[in-house]
Amino acid sequence: MADCLLEFQDVHREFATPAGPSRPVLLGVDFAVERGASLAMVGRSGSGKSTLLHLAAGIDLPSRGEVRLAGRSLASLDDPVRSRLRRDHVGLVFQFFHLLPHLTVRDNVSLPGWIAGDPHAEVRARAEDLLAAVELGDRGDDLAGRLSGGQMQRVAICRALQRRPGLVLADEPTGNLDETVGARVMDLLVGLCADEGVGLLYVTHSREQASRADRVLRLRDGRLAAAEAPA
């Protein structure tokens, strides 16, 4: 498909266990994320949601089947090329934010641009624009470690979007926030990705938050199926 940032074709993933047979986690997963589309993924703990996101980001590789990111088959690339592809096309948002607490908010948002060698002034301007969009325009000088959880996740969303990725992957981005704050963070994440035409794949346990996506998929028994709402 021409406008797919991410495609899974018959993806299997099993893990070796210390003793006995390997543990199958994904047993043939097919789906795609189109540019600008949002997709929520639900499923019980241990069903393989994080495994699927790791495969999508090229942090892990399938045992069988194909994962294509920006049109490239990830298994066919060597590590440095795969890392560069991720850096150029994917923004990641984690449950526990993973900000650098001793850096300022502005520097946290700028960091991906600096690492990639993007022009300094553009990186700074982009950071300011994004922080303003999540209503943290006046907090750029604060140390990230001083913020509340909801504020930290808003900064992490800005960081994920700094390099204008085609795809954002978010693993339980509101799992560490209370309901009201989580709802606000999810509004910003879904809204910003839609505004910028970014594909979004996020994992959530919340029925309410899953319903904000264009599409909801449930992972169960190693396979993905359409779902109206999370269990």
Ligand X SMILES: Nc1ncnc2c1ncn2[C@@H]1O[C@H](COP(=O)(O)OP(=O)(O)O)[C@@H](O)[C@H]1O
Residues that contact Mg ion, how many (by CB under 5 A): 2
* Contacted by 64, from Mg ion, ligand X, none: CB < 5 to 8 Å by type: none
Q: Does 50 bind Mg ion (CB under 5 A)?
A: yes
**Residue 48 or residue 112: which is nearer to ligand X going by CB?**
48
Write the single-letter amino acid at 39.
Answer: L
**Residue 107 or residue 171: which is nearer to Mg ion going by CB?**
171
Please pick, from the candidates 29, 37, 38, 51, the single residue that binds ligand X as defined by CB under 6 A: 51
**Residue 61 or residue 77: which is nearer to ligand X going by CB?**
61
The interface region with Mg ion, picked from 49-57, 75-83, 131-139, 223-231 by CB under 5 A, is 49-57
| Contact assessment for residue 35 and residue 56, using Cβ atoms and an 8 Å cutoff | no
How far apart are CB 138 and ligand X at their closest, in Å? 36
Residues 163-222 that bind ligand X (CB under 6 A): none
Q: Does 49 bind ligand X (CB under 6 A)?
A: yes
Q: Does 65 bind ligand X (CB under 6 A)?
A: no
Write the single-letter amino acid at 113.
Answer: G
Please pick, from the candidates 38, 47, 108, 204, the single residue that binds ligand X as defined by CB under 6 A: 47
Write the single-letter amino acid at 179.
Answer: E
How far apart are CB 8 and ligand X at their closest, in Å? 14
Measure the CA dihedral 163/149/57/125, to 10°. Answer: 0
* Contacted by 47, from Mg ion, ligand X, none: CB < 5 to 8 Å by type: ligand X
Q: Which residues sit at the interface with ligand X, rule CB under 6 A?
A: 15, 23, 25, 43, 45-51
Q: Which residues sit at the interface with Mg ion, rule CB under 5 A?
A: 49-50
